[in-house]
Structure 1
Amino acid sequence: MLKDDLTPKDPHDRLFKRVMSDEANVRQFIKEFLPKDISSQIDLKEMKLIPTEKVKGYNKYYMDIAVECYISDTKGQLYFVFEHKSYPDPGVLLQILSYMTVTWDEQRKKNVPLTPIIPVVIYHGSSSWNVTTHFQGQFQNIGESIKPYIPEFNYVLVDLTQIPNDEIEQKAKSTPFLMASLLLMKLVALHDIEGIIRIAVIIKLSEEERIILILYLFYTLDVDQDTMQRIVKELGGEELMPSFAEKLIKQGEERGKIEGEKRGEIKGTIIGTIKGKQDLLIKLLRRKFGLSSSDEKIIRSVTDEAKLDAAAEAIFDAKSKEEVLKLLGQ
């Protein structure tokens, strides 16, 4: 196994994929966050998710999701790209064009009609979005006589940083996990700690969803011990993950601070030790799949922190405990 395979997935990517893997959340997002002249033309009942990694020849972008649907009675797609960088990336336009051309090439080879694709860019970075929303806008001093020979398309921009918090709450109130995730992704990028704590107080989620958000905040926030403790408490961390919360509160009891210098002392205290990582992984696996004594022994035998991190990150996307244990080299 390559070392890169042991690196935990980007926490923004994992949360985005987890939220948008639920078709109810996707329907709500399309209905409330896309322009009405587009959302009103989409048949939300007949839509379904398409795994982009199955598109042959396409260099998969980590933060993309495709949806097959009927747009004005015509079969088509919505292609979602999630931009989490702290700065806008002009390369997103080429990414969208790449997906379009590979998808249409596959359809041509299958001798089926080409379907329209509406790109949607979701942004939550701390800098203002200043990337042109149409492809030809990338070219400087392009003459009118040349434009007909250059591809052109627009994308829908959903800039979370420009949508007031109460508007996000209102638009996504019927899908609490979508609401909480969109708000937290926005507030993390803006480093709005009080806003994060307020959201943690008001949301009503399942145990698994709350744990996912705790881990997301844990991996993305760089805050002091007391602040993280407040957030974990408001999200119910002490009930759901008592060993996790205990390590958070009793900072000095854990050995080693491997990640401490990079991610702050409190993070190094909780997950910077081998034993702490083993404890957390065992706790989460036992809650989701159940765990035998032999499984626990396997985890206790692993001292490679990168493997333990990768397994902890993967657990909520895994369909079986064997998928997680495989990351430990078992």
Structure 2
Amino acid sequence: MSKDDLTPKDPHDRLFKRVMSDEANVRKFIKEFLPKDISSQIDLKEMKLIPTEKIKGYNKYYMDIAVECHISNTKGQLYFVFEHKSYPDPGVLLQILSYMTVTWDEQRKKNVPLIPVIPVVIYHGSSSWNITTHFQGQFDSLNESIKPYIPEFNYVLVDLTKLSNEEIEEKAKTTPFLYKSLQLMKLVAMRDIENIKGVAVIAELSKEEKIILLLYLYYTLDVDQDTMQRIVKELGGEELMPSLAEKLIKQGKQDLLIKQLRRKFGLSSSDEKMIRSVTDESKLDAAAEAVLDAKSKDEVLKLLRR
């Protein structure tokens, strides 16, 4: 799968992983978005990304992003586990605990000292994050005599919806792709179309990064075709439309065509069924390209019936 492949399955998670696959973005995030009593102790020059797939028994665990770094003025190491959430997830603490245990189990098997793990949850959902930030807080009632026997840890919560656009810019402006991605993730969650159109996405980003963000908007915004085209235009992405269309066509021709037609004209269940019955890729390609200039749904559908 291409690193800029953002499918409808989970575009939020894919964008986050793409952004945080760049060590410069991770360094900036640790420095600016984590509590200063933690970030000030980290030697960011020695930081490196580590594999996020862990195997324990017959189960595989996939962390979003994992980082190994050194603590300043000591020889100790520290692991950060970044977990991204676009909705309040009551299971996040158990998920984090599983990451911790498989990491420590792996170290134990290698006969090396256990390394502390600091979990970080990045959130940008439309609902308020109402999940406790410490493990024992999950229990409805916990007698004081029992607490010493129950695991306890906290995670760092970075709630993008609680940060202003100005705060995000101030923290991340020297890493443009990180800055624009975090800003759009927040605005998409808040369904803030007007401010999305005010984000100057294009100027300082590479062509690949621009397409990634436009794909993210395409798959996450529930707007009609005309509104989407205005957003792309106002973000300065008109010259990318051919490349963007090519990417979209490659990522599921039938799904793309159905989504385009539904947004622009509306689509009946029988129309959708007919489109899904078409397996000729050249017909699907021709129909997808025709949608942009078509004046009616039938103009597009007749290309599939030939």
CA pair 223-182 structure 1, distance change in 2 beyond 3 A? same
Corresponding residue for 1:208? 208
Q: CA deviation at 1:161?
A: 0.2
1:203-222 C-alpha deviation (Å, 9 max, x unpaired): 52111100000101001111
CA deviation profile, 1:3-34 (whole Å, cap 9, x unmatched): xxxx7652111111110000000000000000
Q: Distance in 2 between matches of 1:89 and 1:53?
A: 21
Unmatched runs of 5 consecutive residues or more in structure 1: 1-6, 249-255, 282-302, 304-330
* Alignment root-mean-square deviation, CA: 3.1
Runs of 4+ aligned structure 1 residues displaced above 4 Å come to 54-58, 243-246, 271-279
CA deviations 1:240-289 (Å, max 9, x no partner) are: 2337579x9xxxxxxx952358x633798xx999559758x9xxxxxxxx
Take 2:285 and 2:61, find their aligned partners in 1: how far apart are those partners?
32
Aligned residues of 1:210 and 1:235 also touching (Cα < 8 A): no
CA distance in 2, matches of 1:33, 1:264: 37
2:65 match: secondary structure: strand
Larger radius of gyration: 2
Q: Within the alignment, does 1:70 sit opposite 2:91 as a pair?
A: no
- Whether the 8 Å CA contact 2:77–2:115 is kept in 1: the answer is yes
How far apart, in 1, do the equivalents of 2:45 and 2:266 lie?
A: 43
Matches of residues 137-148 of structure 1 in structure 2 within 5 Å? 137-148=137-148
**CA distance in 1 between partners of 2:126 and 2:69 (Å):** 32
* Deviates most, 216-225 or 174-183: 216-225
Instruction: Indicate conservation of the 8 Å contact 1:124/1:159, yes or no.
Output: yes
Question: Taking structure 2 as the reference length, what is the TM-score of the superposition?
Answer: 0.77
Question: Is the 1:257–1:265 contact (alpha carbons within 8 Å) kept by the matching residues of 2?
Answer: no
How far is the alpha carbon of 1:235 from its aligned partner? 3.3
Kindly state the Cα deviation for residue 231 of structure 1 after the two structures are TM-superposed.
1.5
Structure 2's unaligned 5+ residue stretches are 1-6, 249-255, 268-274, 289-303
How many residue pairs align between the two structures? 263
Structure number with the higher strand fraction is: 2
Question: Does residue 265 of the first structure (1) align with residue 264 of the second (2)?
Answer: yes
TM-score (norm 1): 0.72
Structure-1 residue corresponding to 2:99: 99
Give the direction of change, closer, same or farther, for the CA distance of 1:277–1:24 in structure 2 (3 Å limit): farther
Equivalents in 2 of 1:76, 1:209: separation in Å? 30
- The residue aligned with 1:199 is 199
The match for 2:60 is: 59
Q: Deviation string for 1:280-303 (max 9, x for gaps)?
A: x9xxxxxxxxxxxxxxxxxxxxx9
Question: Partner amino acid for 2:78?
Answer: G
- Alignment check: 8 A CA contact 2:122 2:157 kept: yes
How far did residue 51 of structure 1 move? 1.8
Describe the shift of the 1:276–1:131 C-alpha distance in structure 2 as closer, same or farther (beyond 3 A): farther
Q: Is the 8 A contact 1:260 1:267 kept in 2?
A: no
Asked whether the equivalents of residues 200 and 231 of structure 1 are also in contact (C-alpha less than 8 Å), the reply is no
Counterpart position of 1:164? 164
Matched residue type, 1:60: Y
